[in-house]
Amino acid sequence: MTDNDTANWAPLEAVIPADDRYLWMWMGRATSDDGTVIEQYKHSLTRGYLNLSADGRAWLIRGTADGCTPFCGEQHEHRPDSPPTVEVVAMATAREWAWI
């Protein structure tokens, strides 16, 4: 069981240098289709999200509003009622989406 009100900083601490962690806010958590708990962190300057699980994986969570960001690179239609997509991505990709 996880407490949805208590920040878990361990995944962020594993990938962000100590001197840069003050720039991050814990925003909450999500759960993937396979049950993995994903911690959501937001950078205070770029406003980008870094989504990390305790096992060291990076996740991309895209809602309909995020589908056509400069990093999308795909031509497709996004419907407002579409569920968000949740996928494991390389850490470099996750950092790019967080604009860090």
For 92, list phi and psi in degrees, rounded to 5.
Answer: -60, -40
Q: Under DSSP, is residue 30 helix (H, G, I), strand (E, B) or coil?
A: strand
Per-residue pLDDT tens digits for 29-44: 988 889 999 999 999 9
CA gap 87, 32 in Å, rounded: 8
What is the model's pLDDT at position 53?
95
Distance CA 94, CA 6 (A): 23
**Residue found by looking up tokens 């208590």 in the block:** 6
pTM: 0.75
The pLDDT tens digits for 8-30 are 999 999 999 999 999 999 999 98
Q: List pLDDT tens digits, range 40-94.
A: 999 999 888 999 999 999 998 876 554 455 445 565 555 555 566 788 888 888 8
Strand order in the sheet with 37-43: 24-31, 37-43, 49-53, 58-62, 85-89
